Amino acid sequence: MRKLVEKTSLPDGALLITCSSHEERSHGFFRNAQDWQPGVTILFHYDDENPRRERNHNALKLELERRSCIVHELQFKEQSAAVSIKENADFLRHILKANSDRALVFDMSVFTKRHMLMMLRWLDDHGYWDHLSVVYSEPEDYDVSEFVHLSFGLSSVRPIPGFPSVSDLSRPLHLVLFLGYEGDRAFATYEYVQPIDTTLIIASPAYKVAWEGRTEAFNQDLIAVVGESNVERMSGTDPEEVELCLASLFENGENRDEMARIICPIGTKPQTLGVYSFIRKSADPPSLIYASPLRHNHGMFSHGIGDTWLLKEGIKK
């Protein structure tokens, strides 16, 4: 599903889970849902030093307080993600239990993909999936006019905590790599995994007409090595379509596949939500890995605020 938030009625008084960032779109949800009144907010704060993020974090707190919302701040160490989830678990359980009568809204716009996936798994494991609504604010654009990659190099490739961690070594490896504007990171991941088979997934259609062809340009070297015949195109904006496409490509009924599959989501956040929805239903779930870059190109990242979308609508309590 994919509905504009401004045309959708979100329940007032909801419990909101969100995050601050150096990106302008960390404010996108509130700009595009100006009359919405959350009752309680869990606001995550990352530990890396970034003055722009600090400004956005403080502005988010002020906006939430202006809307008469109770704000609970939680610290999160991205480089110690599993430890941070464990440290926050008791408080999360307490807040969710104390507000069990409220609707639950998750704004995934500026969460890192690893943190986002771990939070979805945690909420799912604790019985909140069916009642969870998920929103996403897209940027106005990315600063990629010179086709400079949004990240550089590869520092590590690790399983994402909470998901199958080690592929069945009795089966050959099949890497499913969602591509974005980080071609250097994607190529390094491919070389690190050394799969027998590879499927590259490109968002199509792109968010905007002007963005068509960008992903192919950023990943032209990897596409040349793997081959155009191993490229699949899926929606970059509709997680339900991504889930259905993955199921049609890779599910084999109740039987185990001949290959052990590894998914690495370097594409869009809506695609990553679709990946999670696919994995939670899969009879032969793939491993899910996070490829950490050596560094992000914060100087040429995203700018502006685009539309905010409701991508999953929770069942009303």
* Residue-level pLDDT at 141: 84
Question: Mean pLDDT score of the chain, rounded to an integer?
Answer: 91
Whether 317 is covered by a domain: the verdict is no
Closest CA to 282 of 303, 300, 261, 306: 261
pLDDT at 309: 95
The pTM of this model reads: 0.94
Q: Is 145 helix (H, G, I), strand (E, B) or coil?
A: coil
Peptide bond connecting 205 to the previous residue in cis, omega within 30 degrees of 0: yes
pLDDT of residue 149: 61
Convert the pLDDT of each residue in 198-252 to its tens digit: 999 999 988 888 889 999 999 999 999 999 999 999 999 999 999 999 999 987 7
Distance CA 254, CA 248 (A): 14
Q: What is the pLDDT of residues 20-44, one digit of tens each?
A: 998 999 999 999 998 899 999 999 9
Average pLDDT estimate for 107-119: 96
Q: Using pLDDT thresholds of 50, 70 and 90, give the confidence band for residue 269.
A: very high
Question: Which of these, 305, 270, 268, lies nearest to 27 by C-alpha position?
Answer: 305
The whole domain housing 109 covers 3-141+303-312
Q: pLDDT grade, residue 294 (50/70/90)? A: confident
Read off the DSSP letter of residue 194: -
CATH number at residue 165: 3.40.50
Confidence bin at 86 (pLDDT 50/70/90): very high
Contact 184, 176 (CB under 8 A): no
Q: Give the integer Cα–Cα distance in Å for 146 and 151.
A: 14
Contact (CB, 8 A) for 242 and 270: yes
Domain count, the chain: 2
44 in the same domain as 103: yes
Name residues whose C-beta falls within 8 Å of residue 255's C-beta, 6 or more positions apart in sequence. 283, 284
Same domain, 280 and 197: yes
DSSP state of 126: T
What are the tokens at 312?
């999953």
Residue 95 one-letter amino acid: I
Q: Are residues 130 and 83 in the same domain?
A: yes
Same domain, 171 and 113: no
How many residues comprise the chain?
A: 317
Q: What is the pLDDT of residue 147?
A: 64
Q: How confident is the model at residue 65 (pLDDT cuts 50, 70, 90)?
A: very high
At 147-195, the pLDDT tens digits run: 666 666 788 999 999 998 766 678 899 999 999 988 889 999 999 999 9
Q: Does residue 87 sit in the same domain as residue 216? A: no
According to the model, what pLDDT value does residue 75 have?
96
Tell me the residue type at 296. H
Same domain, 209 and 293: yes
Helix (H, G, I), strand (E, B) or coil at 273: helix
